[in-house]
Amino acid sequence: MLKQFPRTSVDGISLSRMLIGTNGFLGFSHKSAAQDAMLREKFSDYKAYYPVLSKFLEHGVDSLMGLCGDNPGLVSGIRYTEEKTGKKIHIIDTPGINVDDTAEGRREAQVKIKRCADAGAEICLIHHSRAEQLVNKNKQTIERLGDYTDMIREAGMVPGLSAHMPELVVYSDQNEYDVETYIQIYNPLGFLMQVEVEYIAKVIHNAKKPVMTIKPFASGRCTPFVGFNFVLNTIRECDMVTVGVMSRHEAAEDIEIAFAALERRYPDIEGRSSPNKDQAAFGKK
């Protein structure tokens, strides 16, 4: 058996500490409309997910985060991979629910949350864009959060919060809401982070529940070597790092770099290519 990635637990659910991100699958490049379109085309057929997902599974990376309830093609790719490999993929969904304080808003939220459960999600984290609408900084509360965590529990999933705004983590812990895990942006460049890197590191270390860090490579603005060595060596053993890739080769390379970061060694990877490889700056292998 190939070396298996370390694991952690969220409310009794065993997860790999590396999570498979899905922005690359779904066309969210954070770079350009052209790259978004290229990604959507690449993964337009659900069978295109299999080479990437199966590579992760070879090393025990069996936990995936994404908007699964809204993307049946992704769910079909997951199911296809599970059937071909005989291995289960743990799904973590992050739905953008309606948080209007109305009967209609709550009905819509309930429908979307149930859709996540129907897609096979075990953990459901309210998307940051919606959860942040409920934050009251004056009271240091997240208003009506219990309405939605109750819906998540009733649908048979574990509730969590996607927290681009770090106050979500602080207020949730402070008020002891029914939240079992958090998502937090964390990378060495501070990309999309609302406050400085050092403060987010403190929020993660003080969190009462495991944290799923996202965008470790700042959406391609730093290399996996830099991103992994920073994130994996500054989070806790209960925390996770979410990685998005576009190919089986990237998955294999990222897994090796992550193992090396955890083991405090240099990764066994090929150097970058160049039209003229006979240059000292590129090294020789």
Cβ count within 10 A of residue 252: 17
Please give the pLDDT value at position 280. 66
pLDDT of 157 reads 98
- Looking at residue 261, its amino acid is A
Residue 277 lies in a domain: yes
Give domain status of residue 143, yes or no.
yes
The CATH number of the domain where 203 resides is what? 3.20.20.100
Q: Let me know if residue 172 belongs to a domain.
A: yes
User: What secondary structure, in 3-state letters, does the chain show?
Assistant: CCCCCCEEEECCEEEECEEECCHHHHCCCCCCHHHHHHHHHHCCCHHHHHHHHHHHHHCCCCEEEECCCCCHHHHHHHHHHHHHHCCCCEEEECCCCCCCCCHHHHHHHHHHHHHHHHCCEEEEEECHHHHHHHEECCCCEECCHHHHHHHHHHCCCEEEEECCCCHHHHHHHHHCCCCCCEEEECCCCCCCCCCCHHHHHHHHHHCCCCEEEECCCCCCCCCHHHHHHHHHCCCCCCCEEEECCCCHHHHHHHHHHHHHHHHCCCCCCCCCCCCCCCCHHHCCC
Residue 1 belongs to some domain of the structure? no
pLDDT of residue 22: 85
Burial label, 138 (beta-carbon count in 10 A; 0-12, 13-18, 19+): exposed
pLDDT at residue 265 in the model? 96
Q: pLDDT below 70 — which residues of the chain? A: 27-31, 36, 38-39, 42, 44, 272-285
Token pair of 4 as six digits: 């298996």
pLDDT of residue 283: 62
Classify residue 2: in a domain, yes or no.
Answer: no
Strands 158-162 and 121-126, by their bridges, are: parallel
- How many separate domains does the chain show? 1
- 225 is a domain residue: yes
**Prediction pTM value:** 0.91
- Domain range holding 267? 7-282
